[in-house]
Amino acid sequence: MKIEILTTGDEILQGTIIDTNSAWISEKCQMLGHEVTRHVSVGDDDKEIAEAVGAASGRADCVIVSGGLGPTADDITVEAVARAFGLKLKLDEAVLAEIRDFFGRVGRQMAKTNEKQALIPEGGRPLPNKVGTAPGIRVKLGRAECFFLPGVPRELYQIFDDSVLPWLKEEATGASEARVLRCFGLPEATIGEKLSDVPLHGARLSFRVKFPEILLKLIARSESDADARHSVDAAAAAIRERLGDVVYGEGETILPEVVGHMLRDRNMTVAVAESCTGGLIASHFTDVAGSSEYFERGVVSYSNRAKQELLGVSLDTLRANGAVSREAAMAMAEGVRRLSGAAIGIATTGIAGPGGGTPEKPVGTVHMAITTAERTEAFQYSFGGDRERLKLLFAMTAIDMVRKYLINL
C-alpha cells in the first residue's frame, strides 16, 4: 500500500519547528511493510491544504494528515478539505460532549472556540483523542483512505496507535518484526565500527542517535511471524555479544527504569548528591512511576555551604582538593548515603560551563562516585558539548554508573 504523509502549519514552513511527526508515522508504516512515497508540508492556507490533500489522495492509497485541528483561527484543515471535496460539516454532539468532559476532567472551562473541534465532515468519523481536545477524523476521499490527526505529537501518537495502526495492520501483507536495542556509553561511530560485520540473519539494522543514547533498530520481514522473529532474535543476540553491557535495554524502557528494576529486585535504595547535574539525576530517577520505592532522597548542593550542611563534606576536603575533585565526589556520595540510610549513595561534581573552566579542570570535567556499605568507587570523565548536553551526559553517566555497579555486584 502506498502512503503519503501531509503535515500542515506555518510554523513548519517558517522553520519554527522541525516536523518530527512525518518520520514517526513513516517508521510505523514501514515496520508493517507499507511504502511511504512522499512527505509534504504546507502552511495554514486553505487553498494549499486542499490542493495538497487532493493531489495526495489521487496518488496514494492512504493519506495521513497532521496539524490544523486545534481551536484557533489558523487551524483550518478540516474546513479546507470539506470545502474542497464538497462535504458538509456536521457538529457531532458526542464529540462535543467528550471535549466538554475533557475540560471538566482537567478542571478548566471550555472556550467557545473549542466547539469547532466537534465538526466532522459527512461520511467521516471521529477518532477518539484521550489526551487532548481535537479528535482525529477518518474519511475516504477519492480512492484514498484519509486520516486527519492533530499536530501535537502526543495526541497524534495516541490517536495513531489506537485508530490508524489497527487498520494499517489489517491492510499489511506478510509478517514483520522490529526491535530496538538501547545503548549507552559508546559514540555512534564506534558502535558502527564494532557492528560493521555483525551477522544480521536477514534483518535490517539502522541507527538512531537519541543523545546521549544510541538506539539500534532491527527490522525483519518474512512470510511468517516466526521467521521474522527468528531473524530479529538472532541479529539481536549477535549484536549483544559484540557490544556487551553497552546494550542496556530494549524497546521503550529508559535507562533510569532499568536501574530502578535492578534496585527493586535487590531490595536496595539510592540517595543522590548532585552538584553540576543540578537535580537532573533525581529528576530522571523520579520520572519512573513507583520510584519512591527505591529513590530515598536527592540533594542539590550547589554551594559549598550546602555540601557541608547537607552532606557533611568537610571544609578541609573542599579546600585541599576543590569542590570539583575525586575527593569531593567521594565525600558527597558517602555523606548522602550515611545521612539518608540508603543502601547506595552517588554523587556528581563537575563543570557544565560555559563559565568556570580552568586549564587543569576545563568545562566538561566531571567527577562522580558511588558508595555502598562495602566500598566507594570514583570516576573522572572529560566530555564535550554545551551546558545542556553536558548536564544530561553527566546525569546519564551517573545513572549508568549505578547499573554497572549492580551488574558486577
Q: Site residues for a second copy, window 203-232 (CB under 8 A)?
A: 206-209, 217, 219
* Rounded distance between C-alpha atoms, residue 227 and residue 220, angstroms: 9
Region 155-184 residues binding a second copy, contact defined as CB under 8 A? none
Q: Is 120 in the site for a second copy (CB under 8 A)?
A: no
Q: Is 47 in the site for a second copy (CB under 8 A)?
A: no
20 φ, ψ (degrees, to nearest 5): -100, -15
Q: Is 54 in the site for a second copy (CB under 8 A)?
A: no
* Rounded distance between C-alpha atoms, residue 262 and residue 267, angstroms: 9
The count of C-alpha atoms lying within 13 angstroms of the C-alpha of 180, restricted to the half-sphere facing its C-beta, is: 16
ω into 71 cis (within 30 of 0) = no
114: DSSP letter: G
- Cβ proximity to a second copy: between 140 and 305 the closer is 305
Q: Is 13 in the site for a second copy (CB under 8 A)?
A: yes
Q: Are 111 and 71 contacting, i.e. CB atoms less than 8 angstroms apart?
A: yes
Q: Is 242 in the site for a second copy (CB under 8 A)?
A: no
3-class secondary structure, 21? helix
Q: Is 34 in the site for a second copy (CB under 8 A)?
A: no
Which residue pairs, CB below 8 angstroms and at least 24 apart, start in 153-159?
153/20, 153/21, 153/24, 155/129, 155/131, 156/21, 156/24, 156/25, 156/66, 157/24, 158/129, 158/130, 158/131, 159/127, 159/128, 159/129, 159/135
CB of 122 to a second copy, least distance (A): 26
How many residues touch a second copy (CB under 8 A)? 105
Q: Which residue has the cell 538506539?
A: 215
CB of 229 to a second copy, least distance (A): 19
Region 373-402 residues binding a second copy, contact defined as CB under 8 A? 382-388, 391
Give Cα 203 distance to the centre of its chain.
Answer: 24
Q: Is 295 in the site for a second copy (CB under 8 A)?
A: yes
Q: Is 193 in the site for a second copy (CB under 8 A)?
A: yes
CB of 309 to a second copy, least distance (A): 7
Region 317-376 residues binding a second copy, contact defined as CB under 8 A? 339-341, 353-355, 364
Q: Is 202 in the site for a second copy (CB under 8 A)?
A: no
Taking CB under 8 A as the criterion, the residue among 129, 176, 291, 397 binding a second copy is 291
Region 253-272 residues binding a second copy, contact defined as CB under 8 A? 272
